[in-house]
Chain A
Amino acid sequence: MKTEVGQRQDLAVDGLVPSTTMSPASVAAAAADLGRCYEEGLAVIPQGGRTQIGMGAVPHRYDVAFSTTGLSRLLEHEPADLTCRVEAGMRLGALQAVLHLHGQRLPLDPPHPEEATVGGLLAANTNGLGRGRHGTVRDWVIGVTVLYPVGNPARVARAGGKVVKNVAGYDLMKLHIGALGTLGVIAEVNFKVQTLPEASADMLAWFDTPAAALRCGHGLALGYLLPAAMAVLNREALGQCGVTAPRPWVLAARLEGYQAEVAAARDRVAAAAREAGGQVEEPAPMFWDAARGWPAAPAPAVVLRAATSLTGVPRLVDAIGTDASVMAQPGVGVVQVRPLPGMAEPVVNRLREALGPGGSVVVERAPAAEKASLDVWGPPPAGFALMRGLKASLDPRGVLNPGRFVGGI
């Protein structure tokens, strides 16, 4: 399948353009296409809505843009079972729309849900601000069908199943979540879903120092009425979310649950914020939409993502200084950072120095030219030899996303 040059630019990854596109419309066709790539040793970059296509190191090679958007069907949804089965190219927004009709949702809230596909959601392990209470992608996936480039046609293999409780066989879902499409092409995903909460409420509390805002958020995270989402932003980040700040730091909280629960949580958050010196108010309605999309800033922004323990968050926020916009999740241990132009390298270095044992600092987005000097993934994690072994076994010719993942995988 030949592609016009104009289209190829649209399919670029870190400036590299593919020579071929493939956009299969069935799992069998996808297996045939991927099988051909295996046979010819073509470098494949699987992609859906391309909302996270900037993740990862610069690919070593890029021959085939392998689009999953032709696989976009909802295959099953039995509302009473609270489960569904979808093709990987289905847009998250389209899935949510169907679920909402039945009073349900997938409680994952990544940037650009209208564009993002469920396959991409898994591959990039994109988690929104709601993970404190609802968990991450790995907590909602109950089965996958994956194409493995080990022959022609590619091997189609499933793991997990369609039921919410299942321990038969290896949990290979976990292997593909966050693997950035380096071990296989996700073709179908089975999810468990959730009943929509009865009520929700949003709050903001303004603070003079990050320490006070973070301490307040940490305290709320340790208690029973954990907000569904919590983020601490500095004035710069808040401005990028379209809110003018009366004070330099804010703690934003989204509360969800039964009516009475939300009412109680509201009182509790307000009391905790005031006690910590905060000034409480309701946010503008558009705030959370803007906050959701904030980490997916358009090029040429650099976006960093640091993961640490709950108690490690203030240290990281301190290390950033004033050279960046900051969105920290005090109930989770994640700090997302958009350094000011030209400041990416010093901010990355300071974060990596401040990071205790465990945890990580990843460059989620950056212009290709900057990626090399920033060391996108940081040092390979413990167990890296096993990871390399998994890659060699499941993608023996190295056709999937060569070079984009951790440690050059």
Chain B
Amino acid sequence: MEAAARTRLLDRLREVVGDRYTLADPYEIRLYQYDSSPETALPDLVVIPASAAEVAAVVKICAEEGCPLVSRAGATGLAGGTVPVFGGVVLAFSRMDRVLELDYENLRAVVEPGLVNLALSNATRPRGYYYVPDPSSQGASTIGGNVATNAGGPHTLLYGVTVNHVTGLELALPSGELVEVGGGRAAETTGYDLTGLVVGSEGTMAVVTKVWVKLTAVPPQSKTLMAIYPDVRSAGNAVSAVVGSGILPAAIEMMDNISIRAIEAAVHAGYPTDAGAVLLLEVDGLPDVVQQLTERMVAICRQHGATEVRVAKDEAERQALWRGRKGAFSAMGRISTDFYVMDGVVPRTRLPELLDQIERISQRSGYRIANVFHAGDGNVHPLVLFDAFQPGQYEEVLKIGDEILKLCADAGGSITGEHGIGLEKRENMRYIFSEDDLAVMDQVRRVFDPDRRMNPGKLFPTDGAEPPRIHAVRGQRAAARGSITGEEPWI
């Protein structure tokens, strides 16, 4: 962006959102070059709007100025989805974080996209309702970000992912026009399901300014049990046996030994550090039913080689078990300076084979790979442990990531179950989609955004054409032998 264009843009944006919430200072905008992925890129300007009307006005100005636009809220994304690799304007949703309406009689909530996921359930639980999707980042990630990536979480096994719980959206289209799509409170509406289409489109179609979500009655009781196994394979067999028994658990999670040790060091969840694998199984429902199902699951776990099965005896113990699982990624800091999170999916029956292959990759490459995953739906999160200060390691780890995703694709799975494609997996899209598949997706995108200005450089393969501003902060760190370097922001 040229200096004159940037100055003009800055002046116009200031008129909409005010000086205080239009950031141009190099020091301030540097904070917006990150999300939770290793890549960074500087925006030209950052705006922090307070309302849908302000968002729409900002989007309209960007359309008139031909400026790229990237929305961000919690910035917990692991795939680089909010890193502004083409510069331009970053729309930060930190001020649009209100619950607009709680309509219990219609089982709906209307919220702004910057609302933190957990804040919604915290607001509704006293009345006996909750918002079901619970990504592990739910204490920091927002409903808007969850909509962008169609976020999942442990409890999606039984209850579905974000798109199953979103009934309507207010969108600022790339032209700046505001439209409400979907039924909202109503069961359905006519026309194409634009709500379902936009959820998971990673900000490449429109900016979400309001979200209608379903509220669900909280189950009277939830019970979590931990089953301890000598190895991952026997734990995997137990998962298949539970699923095959007709029990529908609300969540089935697995962690391997490396993960267990990291978690114990960090959060003391009560996991046995000498176990080869632990399973967390949760059922919910009426107390009688929960009791019966728990007993059945305990028996199945024992039959399939569990050395011990512990049922959380109260809510505190249950929360501790979940704190361990949900804190697994950040716990890796206890055992490695850096880690690279993968998000592959295979059909559940292919899990044992995939885990063997990952183990072989680990042995061959010398990198430790921890496994934390949603075993019930075949969604794996291998964490490749490395040291970014060692030159070359980051690049090698990325290659390992590609290799694992290829294995998932070849097993009939997917390259992302819940984190999204973002920047990270653009090129991997070719593992699962043909030229024709991608062409149709691009056609659809251009109906919304003919100039591809909304979150450019994401989701679609670019065939090696690097976006202008990208650089990996950890790669740079290695190159600089320990000192974080960054480009000077464009001024």
Residues of A within 8 A of B (CB): 78, 80-83, 103, 135-136, 138-139, 146, 148, 155-159, 161-175, 177-179, 183, 195-196, 198, 218, 221-226, 257-258, 260-261, 264, 307-312, 329, 332-334, 358-360, 362, 377-378, 380-384, 386-387, 389-390, 393-394, 405-407
Contact = CB atoms under 8 A, between A and B. Distances in A.
9 contacts: A80-B240, A157-B434, A158-B433, A162-B347, A165-B156, A167-B149, A311-B105, A359-B187, A386-B192
A349 B377 CA distance: 47
Interface in B221-269: 240, 243-244, 246, 248
A382 B217 contact: no
A264 to B, nearest CB: 6
Contacts of A224: 217-220, 286
Chain B interface size range: 35 or more
B413 interface: yes
A380 B180 CA distance: 13
A163 B379 CA distance: 9
A166 B179 CA distance: 27
A258 B291 CA distance: 12
Nearest to B408: A163
**Which one of A156, A165, A174 has the highest number of Cβ atoms from chain B below 10 Å of its Cβ?**
A165
B292 A159 contact: no
Nearest to A164: B377
A266 to B, nearest CB: 12
B68 interface: no
B417 A179 contact: no
A360 B168 CA distance: 14
Contacts of A221: 107
Interface in B147-202: 149-150, 152, 156, 160-161, 163-164, 168, 171, 173, 179-181, 183-197, 199-201
Contact of A165 (B179, B195, B374): B374
A81 B349 contact: yes
B439 interface: yes
Given A222-B104, A258-B289, A171 B196 contact: yes
Contacts of A103: 246
Given A162-B412, A165-B374, A308 B441 contact: no
B370 interface: no
A328 to B, nearest CB: 11
Nearest to B170: A382
B316 interface: no
Contact of B200 (A155, A171, A307, A389): A171
A402 to B, nearest CB: 16
A383 B197 contact: no
A82 B188 CA distance: 27
Given A161-B412, A174-B196, 13 more contacts: A155-B440, A169-B438, A172-B197, A174-B163, A221-B107, A222-B104, A226-B217, A258-B293, A261-B286, A360-B188, A360-B190, A383-B181, A386-B448
Contacts of A81: 347-349, 378
A393 B444 contact: yes
B88 to A, nearest CB: 22
B288 A264 contact: yes
B246 A171 contact: no
B307 interface: no
B199 A332 contact: no
A198 B246 contact: yes
Contacts of A179: 192
B106 interface: yes
Contact of B186 (A173, A360, A393, A406): A360
B207 interface: no
Nearest to A198: B246
B412 to A, nearest CB: 5
Which 5 pairs across A and B sit closest by C-beta, in order of nearness?
A174-B196, A333-B187, A359-B186, A309-B185, A389-B447
A271 B356 CA distance: 54
A83 B414 CA distance: 14
A10 to B, nearest CB: 29
B217 A223 contact: yes
B150 A78 contact: no
B363 interface: no
A407 B412 CA distance: 39
A134 B413 CA distance: 25
B420 interface: yes
B314 interface: no
B444 A390 contact: yes
Nearest to A167: B150
B411 to A, nearest CB: 9
B446 interface: yes
A175 B243 contact: no
